[in-house]
Chains A and B, each alone.
Chain A
Amino acid sequence: RKEVEQDPGPFNVPEGATVAFNCTYSNSASQSFFWYRQDCRKEPKLLMSVYSSGNEDGRFTAQLNRASQYISLLIRDSKLSDSATYLCVVKNHNTDKLIFGTGTRLQVFP
């Protein structure tokens, strides 16, 4: 079982839709949480860090539930340019490595 689990999708949504992605992680010692996005054959790019109190950046809202070991990402008013793979990423205490989920693929259509 992977340490970080995501629904691979794809999620096919029309422009303007609201879409939510979920992610679970198995290591309760996990300390830092992120959402990265990755376009086909490109590098992962940081979308946002995820904080315990939840945080918002424009159309994007991230939530963390440490008790349930669950992370979510909500995208409002989807744009065509949001089409990408969204990677849930976890970093544990005292280690440098980022642990990636397999990613959730989003396709926004006109």
Chain B
Amino acid sequence: QVQLVQSGAEVKEPGASVKVSCRTSGYTFTGHYIHWVRQAPGQGLECMGRINPSGGGADYAPKFQGRVTMTSDTSISTVYMELSSLRSDDTAIFYCARQAMVGTYFDYWGQGTLVTVSS
């Protein structure tokens, strides 16, 4: 069965960076893009960008360009999202989500990783 398992909660100070992992299993890792979606407390869903595990190319939403880096490691079927220059309003749950085969909607999601930015 398809699974996306994310790393645990993080607490960071303003200005620091955070790196969240998303370990996948149950399907061909290089066959699907992985997206990262942010959800601030009590708020909606916001796409941050995506990575193609086959080749490692990534596309970032303009809002996060310059602060986010997405990478992949095919040897362990894992993708990573690093967000730098953290601010208090980056406090959120970050989800990885698998892009479906035939359209850019998300058919499987990780459980989410809470990142708290606080001094």
Bound pair: A and B? no
Residues of chain A at the chain B interface (Cβ within 8 Å): none
Residues of chain B at the chain A interface (Cβ within 8 Å): none
